[in-house]
Amino acid sequence: MLSDAAVQRIQEIVKEYPNTKSALVPALYVAQRDAGGWLPREAMVEVAEELDLPESHVYSVATFYSMFYLKPIGENVIQVCTTSPCGLRGANEIVDCFKKRLGVGLNETTADGKFTLMEVECLAACNVAPMAQINEDYYVNITEERVDEIVTMLGRGEKPPYAEFAQNLKGAHPIAFTDAELGIDVSGIKPADPVVKKEKPAEAAPTEAK
């Protein structure tokens, strides 16, 4: 089930750690991307095999963290932060706007499978509240008009111009991507000059006690 590219990326990540277990969370992101946005049981089993871990451990970790989805989810996942600081600035009203625009309630997916609406806890962006995480991007200072625009554009498969990533990562975590896929190219950067070690002035030899 895991594609060769996914297995290759997992093996690349494993090299960064002294054991395979540490690579589990990144590997689950790779598997989730590979499976199209959620983690089917078979994908978890293959991650367990790939990392030589008990299946039960993989499942226990996958169920602990909120960013892994164990059931199919909408193409676009809209997560509005409603924790107190956002709540003070109209986050709940924005949730209502999304509900109305999409015709779904919280934790529900639209009939066409395009959108899932959720409420999440603090995303550390209280300065730009109300805000939401939608797929791989933060959308900040959301207004009622923006709700309509965001839904319309994402529904057409376009990214609103104020999204953080120019690329469409389809909601997958960037750790699941190679440098080349993310467009990270440092071939034009030349090494810096080496440092010249300055010897510390030798400490004065202790004078012999008389």
Partner 1 sequence: MAYEDEPKIIHQHINVPDIKKIDVYEAHDGYQAWRKALSEMSGDDVLNEVKASGLAGRGGAWFPTGMKWSFMPKPVFPKYLVCNCDESEPGTFSNREIVIKHPHILLEGFMLGCYAIGCNHGYIYVRGEFMQGYATLRRALAEARARGYVGKNVLGSGFDLEITLHVGAGAYICGEETALLSSLEGDRGQPRLKPPFPAVEGLYAKPTSVNNVETLSNVPFIIGQGAAAFRQWGTEKAPGMKIVSVSGHVNKPGNYEVPVGTSIRKILEEYAGGVLGGKGIKVFFPGGSSTPMLTPDKLDTPLDPQSITAAGSILGTAGLCIFDEDVDVVKVTHRLLRFYKHESCGKCTPCREGNDWLVAILNRLAQGRGKDGDADLLVDMATNIAGRSFCLLGDAAATPVLSSIKNFREDYEKHITNPIEEKVFIPLTSGNGH
Contact footprint for partner 1 (CB under 8 A) = 16-26, 28-29, 53, 60-61, 64-68, 82-85, 87-89, 121-129, 133, 136-138, 164-165, 169, 173-175, 179, 182, 184, 186, 189-198, 200
Least distance between partner 1 and beta carbon 198 (Å): 4
Task: Considering the complex, state which of residue 152 and residue 182 has its C-beta at the smaller distance from partner 1.
Answer: 182
Task: Tell me the closest approach of the beta carbon of residue 158 to partner 1, in angstroms.
Answer: 19
Which residue is associated with the tokens 């999304």?
Answer: 98
Minimum CB distance to partner 1 smaller for 12 or for 148: 12
Cα angle 71, 148, 67 (rounded to 5 degrees) comes to 25
Q: Closer to partner 1 at the Cβ: 114 or 173?
A: 173
Three-class DSSP category at 116: strand
CA neighbours closer than 13 Å in the CB half-sphere of residue 201: 2
Per-position b or e across 155-190, b if 16+ CB within 10 A of its CB: eeeebeeebeeeeebebbbeebbeeeeeeeeeeeee
Place of tokens 């509900």: 99
Which C-beta is closer to partner 1: that of 47 or that of 151? Answer: 47
Minimum distance, C-beta of residue 95 to partner 1, in the bound complex (Å) = 13
